A and B are shown apart, each in its own frame.
Chain A
């Protein structure tokens, strides 16, 4: 059977499972709609967080980015996993103890202000919208490559599926769908990685194959030979200060992402919140420690399949013309010697490989069976769809719960709130689909924006809300505004070619820190301003200080050892 037919079968099977689960776990009240009835077991929540968090970008693009950046690719690896330490230790248990529905719920109540609630809700919508546009695009690309349909048709199919299980099931349906999607995506990621590790090094475990063989050194030497950069050496693409700043921004940004934080409201207890953070990083770590191995293996294989090979020979491989037709792979014998050369110079380089094809093409390059190629396609779709549905829910709850219910109409009934939520999800799907079909040129750039924004606005407000009892409304508001405005303006200035169409960026960097890392400066400003302003103004009301203490400490039995 061809890879295309197998893909079709696997996609239909997995999608059928997602839809069935969405229907099976359908939500009847607001608690199960927004926070899955607060009854999700820690392991399942961990898997759901992992699927929610690992998007098409993690699955399809990340190993490719690392393969091209070498050591400097660590900004994604450490940045996107280290944030879970912050989440687990600093936020998750306390937010669970607080126990509501959304991030604006916490920030709005802690700072006794609907203004702060509204700012947090707007930040949530902005961050989620940015992300979801990229996810829908990812779905469209995978469909168009493997099912040979138009990219628009691909996006429309994705929209229909997401809308169905999100509108029906709410958080409960999405959680259980995401658990299944995690297993689909991780199996799809690991099988080709294991096969290639075995092929190249004789060791089937990719993580061990990377550490305990000389394959990375061989790739690094090969790259040096071709005049490319030394793969294993630090700071080839990014300066040390940027690696530092971007890693920190991605970590703090991760800890401030509303759709991930919301997941900690869905478990039974504070203890379960701690363990679901543990399960989440175990599940995520499985993919994130495999990615650098895939990066090395895939790059090594790709260089060897093109460099000094004849063009005709290369094109006899079935996958080569297929990727050439997408434009993501470009081969041209510029010097007419009949063979291809990889060089660092654009004028003489004869092979251009888009980073996005690294993971998707890996099984074909390594000549694995068509079943595995189909599996990778299903995995990429699972990654994109699970993240898209989590984001849609975060967006719609920001509007229906935080704006409609908490601010506009506090006496709305359960039924009214559910109806508004479902309408909002439906509208969000339409907006997401629109951006998937007509992607704004700057979507990729704006991901940096989403993280910077989360790092500079939501994270400090939540962190101080828990650990600084004296922090008040005035401090939080001025901190959020400073962090937000600074980061916003900096990114606009540094990304002006993509956003305003200027020829050169208006500002190339801030003290040597680029747009992806500048959220860290916004975060520091937020902390400093919040501290100073809060100390210059009145302490928060007694009941708020009481709330902070209740969030921090459990009720304790009178004498030690009397656990109940």
Chain B
């Protein structure tokens, strides 16, 4: 990345961003495993495994994946709250001017 021309981020901001992206990556892996791997790629073998009244593949496809999506977003919001607190984040919205022309910080 070309960092030279910009105002340097503080060390803390770099760590914050790294922690944020690592959290996102982890959650995206689970997202892909649940929706694409469990419900689609493994649909044929999972069809023969019974999950209560349903084949496991069908359950993942039509119920389980949606429940996992909800948990993922909940966990992300909670973790980011903790991260914000840990790092003492202040809410600054870049442009609240209706003109929207200038980026102020």
Contacts and interface: CB of A to CB of B under 8 A. Distances in A.
Interface in B8-45: 9-10, 12-13, 16-17, 20-21, 24, 27-28, 31, 35-36, 39-41, 43-44
A278 B84 contact: no
Contacts of B39: 74, 78
B52 A207 contact: no
Interface string A387-428: 000000000000000000010001000100000000000000
A278 B91 contact: no
Given A212-B53, A234-B44, A285 B98 contact: no
A216 B103 CA distance: 56
Most B Cβ at <10 Å: residue of A89, A210, A288: A89
Interface of A is mostly: helix
Contacts of A542: 5-6
Contact of A99 (B43, B74, B76, B95): B95
Interface string A270-295: 11001101100110010011001000
Given A244-B36, A270-B91, A553-B16, A30 B73 contact: no
Contact of A269 (B28, B58, B91, B94): B91
A88 to B, nearest CB: 5
B6 A556 contact: no
A9 interface: no
B6 A289 contact: no
A211 to B, nearest CB: 5
Interface string B77-98: 1001100111111111111101
A186 to B, nearest CB: 15
A82 B86 contact: no
Nearest to B4: A542
A292 B24 contact: no
B93 A99 contact: yes
Which of under 10, 10 to 19, 20 to 34, or 35 or more describes the interface residues of A? 35 or more
Interface stretch (A131-139, A346-354, A544-552): A544-552
A303 interface: no
Contact of A78 (B44, B59, B61): B61
A270 B103 CA distance: 17
Contacts of B52: 211-212
A281 B69 contact: yes
B40 A559 contact: no
Interface stretch (A90-98, A378-386, A486-494, A504-512): A90-98
B94 A247 contact: no
A50 B86 CA distance: 32
Interface string B52-80: 11110111011101110110111011001
A561 interface: yes
Contact of A211 (B3, B59, B80): B59
B63 A553 contact: no
A240 B57 CA distance: 13
Nearest to B100: A100
A559 B11 CA distance: 11
A336 interface: no
A556 B103 contact: no
A449 interface: no
Interface string A38-50: 1000000000000
A555 B86 CA distance: 13
Contacts of B57: 71, 234
A553 B35 contact: no
Interface of A: 29-31, 38, 66, 71, 73-74, 77-78, 81-82, 84-85, 88-90, 93, 96-101, 105, 109, 207, 210-217, 232-235, 240, 243-244, 247-248, 251, 269-271, 274-275, 277-278, 281-282, 285, 288-289, 292, 406, 410, 414, 467, 469-470, 539, 542-543, 545-547, 549-564
Closest 5 CB pairs of A and B: A557-B88, A74-B61, A554-B89, A542-B5, A234-B43
